[in-house]
């Protein structure tokens, strides 16, 4: 049985970050595909779902701001807040926030990040999709063959600015070694 890719953002692009659960709003409970957000929808989710989701979107935008990948739209913005409010996870963006396990055979995204060690270990156990994952420490792992990084969850305490810098360094390493 083929698993469908479920989440928010662009159906294909530069990066997909995988988290365990969608926002706790009825609109997102039965997502069966990747749905782009519209302008202002992040704010609606933040207001309905609270500070946890605000952190997820803020940390995602901060990752893109620090990464400054040459093929990403972020280079057109001076502040991560502006990118978050105007582009993040919209159809014309190059990123997705996915609630389903990675499917590397689809090749929809160049880079993959699983946010949260506990979630990563569970999906690695239940969905074998990598044989070359190397744990660097308790929080970070990398699979150069799949362009995959595992990092702490998208939360200020778990993925602090210092750890965002480390994640961006690992993404840059994957970029240097990918074909």
Which strand (E) or helix (H) includes residue 113?
strand 109-115
* pLDDT digits 0-9 by tens, 155-176: 999 999 999 999 999 999 999 8
Q: With contact defined as beta carbons under 8 Å apart, do 66 and 168 qualify?
A: yes
pTM score, whole prediction: 0.93
- What are the structure tokens assigned to 152, written together? 């702490």
Each residue of 73-110: pLDDT tens digit?
A: 666 788 999 999 999 999 999 999 999 998 888 889 99
Taking CB atoms within 8 Å and a gap of at least 24, the contacts of 172-175 are 172/67, 173/142, 173/144, 174/111, 174/142, 174/144, 174/147, 174/149, 175/69, 175/111
């Amino acid at each position: 049985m083929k698993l469908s890719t479920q989440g928010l953002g662009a159906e294909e692009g530069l990066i997909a970050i995988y988290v365990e659960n969608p926002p706790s709003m009825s609109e997102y409970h039965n997502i069966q595909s990747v749905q782009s957000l519209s302008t202002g929808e992040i704010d609606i989710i933040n207001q309905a779902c609270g500070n946890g989701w605000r952190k997820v979107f803020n940390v995602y935008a901060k990752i893109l701001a620090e990464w400054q990948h040459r093929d990403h739209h972020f280079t057109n913005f001076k502040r991560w807040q502006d990118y978050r409010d105007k582009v993040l996870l919209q159809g014309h963006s190059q990123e997705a926030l996915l609630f389903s396990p990675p499917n590397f055979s689809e090749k929809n995204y160049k880079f993959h990040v699983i946010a949260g060690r506990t979630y990563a270990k569970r999906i690695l156990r239940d969905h074998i999709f990598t044989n070359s994952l190397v744990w660097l420490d308790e929080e970070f792992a990398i699979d150069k063959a799949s362009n995959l990084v595992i990092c702490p969850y998208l939360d200020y305490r778990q993925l602090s600015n210092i750890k965002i810098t480390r994640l961006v360094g690992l993404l840059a390493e994957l970029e240097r070694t990918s074909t």
